[in-house]
Amino acid sequence: MKNSFITDISKLIYRVSVASFMLTHGFGKFKLLLSGNLDKFADPLGMGPEISLILAVGAEFFASIAIIIGFKTRLATIPIVFTMGVAAFVVHGSDPFSVKEFALLYMVAFIGIAIMGSGKYSIDYLISKYLRKNK
């Protein structure tokens, strides 16, 4: 019982802290999106700066919020892991490791969240509990 409590609290702290840090990056991009200056964003995959910014906001801002509250947590890590992979290997592909290290660190952290899941203190758990109860 005690070990389960510690594991679930650890998952909560890890999930909320990592996603909150990412949310700060996404919030800046979200403000840029709202400002209408979409053409000032990078276009690493050749889809146009507008689409690239919208996808980055979706990953870094909205997916981070989903992870913080523990809603569709494993699914929400996918766009962030992809975005951090693009940042590390495409945007900073020719840069030294020290420049791409931050994106790689986030990528690994969100892979960890995907593997661990959201834990007991999440919306995912409440939904699962409700569905089991009402079968």
In three-state form (DSSP H/G/I as H, E/B as E, the rest C), the secondary structure along the chain is: CHHHHHHHHHHHHHHHHHHHHHHHHHHHHHHHHHHCCHHHCCCCCCCCHHHHHHHHHHHHHHHHHHHHHCCCHHHHHHHHHHHHHHHHHHHCCCCCHHHHHHHHHHHHHHHHHHHHCCCCCCHHHHHHHHHHHCC
Q: Which pLDDT tens digits describe the chain residue by residue (135 residues)?
A: 578 899 999 999 999 999 999 999 999 999 999 998 877 788 999 999 999 999 999 999 999 999 999 999 999 999 999 999 999 999 999 999 999 999 999 999 999 999 999 999 999 999 999 988 887
Distance, in Å, from the CA atom of 40 to the CA atom of 81, rounded to the nearest integer, reads: 23
Evaluate if pTM is beyond 0.85. Answer: yes
- 79-93 burial by CB neighbour count: b if 16+ within 10 A, else e? bbbebbebbbeebbe
Distance, in Å, from the CA atom of 42 to the CA atom of 32, rounded to the nearest integer, reads: 12
Which pLDDT score is estimated for 42? 87
Distance, in Å, from the CA atom of 37 to the CA atom of 82, rounded to the nearest integer, reads: 24
Which pLDDT score is estimated for 41? 87
Which pLDDT score is estimated for 1? 56
